[in-house]
């Protein structure tokens, strides 16, 4: 599909909202990174996103631009293809991308946190040199295969497996709901070995017996491409296995990284909905007044900015802990769960403020709302994150 398509009307008008002067907590580098990504989203994403979402097409031409603005692995060292920035820079970049669309943020989350990060953290030096620069520059697209048809919230039960065959493993099984899989050059795949231990490996497109069919029919994250990964006796050279991790903590630590980015990203979607609702409340006249003059509209807007501000404070603090290497998985779960739920509630309230217009693609609100239903579920569902917090505070495991 050509991206020379109609300009979306009200999707590219976002203004800055910083109720608690959080910008004072950001460094010059954070502000510069944020401004650059915001401008890119305004130029490249906002004008086309409604139409791509409408047609359920992924704007794959944006992968290169995402690489150029440093959206892939912002906190991975530059010598390995990342941005060499800190965790807050990574956060503000995800926020600006998701202000455009959760699916665009997903393109970057998967590439940086779920593909580059495991190779950087658990790969051999040879694997890092071979794959990371190409992933960082957008020459290669990656995907991350953990979820299976019968094992979503409980990935430890996975049945995808590898069997020893001399200098290679034979990989069999299937992964489900995999972002970017139909367009990916490589997949980081998690499978059980003959001892039942979970291992990570890099599977390349074109390996015999490997296919990645697209999943159709999504009403959410429509501008993101999702597929399966199917492995039928795929011969994976042993040199493709990530040598430096064994067990479920491998994929779960990648999830920690991506969940952190989502906690920031969700604020971007919420800000875009709030911004649109605030503007509409001043423009739309009913009963001879702007609807923003009615107390019930003000209640909605006041609660929206209150919840956004609380989420910003939570996330900024999480970022300072992450910079010191002190953010725990449970703290990250709390922020992901809180912020995505907050964004979904903000989207629902914003939709009401827009009245009937709120269900159309004249405004970004319904698209964000539908996207956020996925964001509430992937990277650990709303309830799984609640149970992670519950386990952390009680010391009692609801899963075991
Ligand atoms: P459990 O026994 O608790 O843990 C196994 C080992 O892992 C360690 N661990 C973590 N390490 C790092 N980060 C985390 N977040 C970790 N959580 C746990 C843990 O310490 C243990 O280590 P060790 O050394 O003792 O072996 O495992 P469990 O089987 O009881 O499962 C716990 C549970 C339910 C919390 C976990 O499985 C879970 O998080 N489930 C949710 C699954 C999920 O989030 N899937 C996401 C798939 S990827 C995706 O959605 C990408 S969307 C991408 C996009 O488009 O943006
Ligand atoms: P289930 O695990 O079957 O859960 C169904 C319901 O049961 C949920 O409400 C859940 O909270 C609840 N539930 C489950 N267990 C418990 C429990 N112990 N206590 C209480 N409630 C429970 N995965 C990848 O590996 N890579 C990707 O790139 C990826 N991208 C995705 C993109 C999209 C668009 C979507 C929709 C999903 C993606 N996923 C990906 C998969 C995603 O992570 C899973 O959908 C998610 O982890 C939930 O698994 P499930 O869908 O199998 O739901």
Per the annotation, the verdict on 379 as an active-site residue is: yes
Q: Give Cα 17 to chain centroid, integer Å.
A: 22
**pLDDT band of 129, cuts 50, 70, 90:** very high
- Taking the CA of 383 as reference, the closest ligand is 2
Mean pLDDT of 368-381: 98
pLDDT, tens digit, for every residue of 197-220?
999 999 999 999 999 999 999 999
Mean pLDDT of 383-389: 98
Closest-CA residue, ligand 1 atom 22, reads 249
- CA 398 to ligand 2 center in whole angstroms: 17
Of 386, 337, 301, 278, the residue nearest 10 (C-alpha): 278
Predicted confidence (pLDDT) at residue 13 exceeds the cutoff of 90? no
- CA 112 to ligand 1 center in whole angstroms: 18
- CA 94 to ligand 1 center in whole angstroms: 22
Residues whose CB is less than 8 angstroms from the CB of residue 272 and which lie 6 or more positions away in sequence, other chains included: 14, 99, 100, 364, 368
Ligand 2 lined by 110 (C-beta under 6 Å):
yes
What integer pLDDT is reported at residue 4 of this predicted model?
Answer: 44
Predicted confidence (pLDDT) at residue 388 exceeds the cutoff of 60? yes
What integer pLDDT is reported at residue 400 of this predicted model?
Answer: 85
pLDDT, tens digit, for every residue of 271-295?
999 999 999 999 999 999 999 999 9
Predicted confidence (pLDDT) at residue 7 exceeds the cutoff of 60? no
- CA angle at residue 182 from 177 to 187, to 5 degrees? 75
Predicted confidence (pLDDT) at residue 23 exceeds the cutoff of 70? yes
Closest-CA residue, ligand 1 atom 33, reads 154
Q: How far apart are CA 268 and CA 91, in angstroms?
A: 10
Ligand 1 lined by 255 (C-beta under 6 Å):
yes
Q: How far apart are CA 51 and CA 7, in angstroms?
A: 9
Predicted confidence (pLDDT) at residue 134 exceeds the cutoff of 70? yes
Q: How far apart are CA 127 and CA 121, in angstroms?
A: 11
- Taking the CA of 255 as reference, the closest ligand is 1
Give the count of beta carbons closer than 10 Å to the beta carbon of residue 126. Answer: 10
Closest-CA residue, ligand 1 atom 9, reads 249
**pLDDT band of 16, cuts 50, 70, 90:** confident
DSSP, residue by residue, 85-105: --HHHHHHHHHHHHHH-HHHH
Atom of ligand 1 nearest to the CA of 221: 55
Ligand 2 lined by 384 (C-beta under 6 Å):
yes
State the average pLDDT for the chain.
96
Mean pLDDT of 349-354: 98
**pLDDT band of 10, cuts 50, 70, 90:** low
Mean pLDDT of 19-29: 96
Atom of ligand 1 nearest to the CA of 399: 30
Predicted confidence (pLDDT) at residue 12 exceeds the cutoff of 80? no
Mean pLDDT of 232-253: 98
- Residues 115 and 188: beta-carbon distance below 8 Å: yes
Share of the chain above pLDDT 70, in %: 96
Mean pLDDT of 96-109: 98
**Global confidence as pTM:** 0.97
Of 348, 365, 354, the residue nearest 292 (C-alpha): 354
Mean pLDDT of 13-20: 85
What integer pLDDT is reported at residue 8 of this predicted model?
Answer: 44
Q: How far apart are CA 188 and CA 172, in angstroms?
A: 14
pLDDT, tens digit, for every residue of 141-155?
999 999 999 999 999
Mean pLDDT of 54-60: 98
pLDDT, tens digit, for every residue of 150-179?
999 999 999 999 999 999 999 999 999 999
Residue 37, burial from CB neighbour count under 10 angstroms (0-12, 13-18, 19+): buried
Predicted confidence (pLDDT) at residue 2 exceeds the cutoff of 90? no
Domains by residue range for the chain, with CATH: 22-136 (1.10.540.10), 142-240 (2.40.110.10), 249-394 (1.20.140.10)
What integer pLDDT is reported at residue 5 of this predicted model?
Answer: 37
């Amino acid at each position: 599909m050509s991206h020379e398509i109609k300009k979306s009307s009200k999707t590219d008008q976002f203004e800055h909202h910083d109720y608690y002067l959080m910008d004072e907590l950001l460094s010059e580098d954070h502000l510069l990174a944020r401004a650059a990504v915001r401008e890119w989203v305004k130029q490249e994403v906002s004008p086309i996103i409604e139409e791509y979402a409408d047609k359920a097409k992924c704007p794959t031409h944006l992968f290169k631009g995402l690489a150029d603005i440093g959206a892939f692995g912002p906190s991975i060292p530059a010598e390995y293809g990342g941005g060499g920035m800190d965790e807050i820079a990574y956060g503000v970049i995800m926020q600006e991308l998701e202000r455009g669309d959760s699916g665009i943020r997903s393109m970057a989350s998967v590439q940086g946190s779920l593909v580059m990060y495991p190779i950087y953290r658990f790969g051999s030096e040879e694997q890092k040199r071979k794959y990371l620069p190409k992933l960082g520059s957008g020459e290669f697209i990656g995907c991350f295969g953990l979820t299976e048809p019968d094992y979503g919230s409980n990935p430890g039960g996975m049945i995808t497996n590898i069997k020893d065959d001399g200098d290679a493993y034979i990989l069999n099984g299937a992964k489900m709901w995999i972002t970017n899989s139909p367009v990916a050059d490589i997949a980081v795949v998690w499978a059980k070995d003959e001892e039942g231990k979970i291992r990570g490996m890099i599977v390349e497109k074109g390996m015999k017996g490997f296919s990645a069919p697209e999943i159709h029919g999504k009403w959410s994250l429509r501008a993101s491409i999702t597929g399966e990964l199917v492995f039928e006796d795929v011969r994976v050279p042993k040199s493709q296995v990530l040598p430096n991790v064994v067990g479920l903590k491998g994929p779960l630590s990648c999830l920690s990284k991506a969940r952190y980015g989502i906690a920031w990203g969700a604020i971007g979607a919420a800000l875009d909905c709030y911004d649109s609702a605030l503007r509409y409340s001043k423009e739309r006249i009913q009963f001879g007044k702007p609807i923003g003059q009615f107390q019930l509209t003000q209640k909605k807007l006041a609660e929206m900015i209150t919840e956004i501000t609380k989420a910003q404070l939570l996330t900024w603090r999480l970022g300072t802990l992450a910079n010191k290497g002190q953010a725990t998985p449970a703290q990250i779960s709390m922020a992901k769960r809180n912020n995505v739920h907050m964004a979904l509630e903000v989207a629902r309230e914003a939709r009401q403020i827009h009245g009937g217009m709120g269900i159309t693609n004249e405004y970004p609100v319904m698209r964000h709302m539908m996207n956020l239903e996925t964001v509430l579920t992937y990277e650990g569902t709303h309830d799984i994150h609640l149970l992670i917090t519950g386990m952390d505070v009680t010391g009692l495991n609801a899963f075991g």
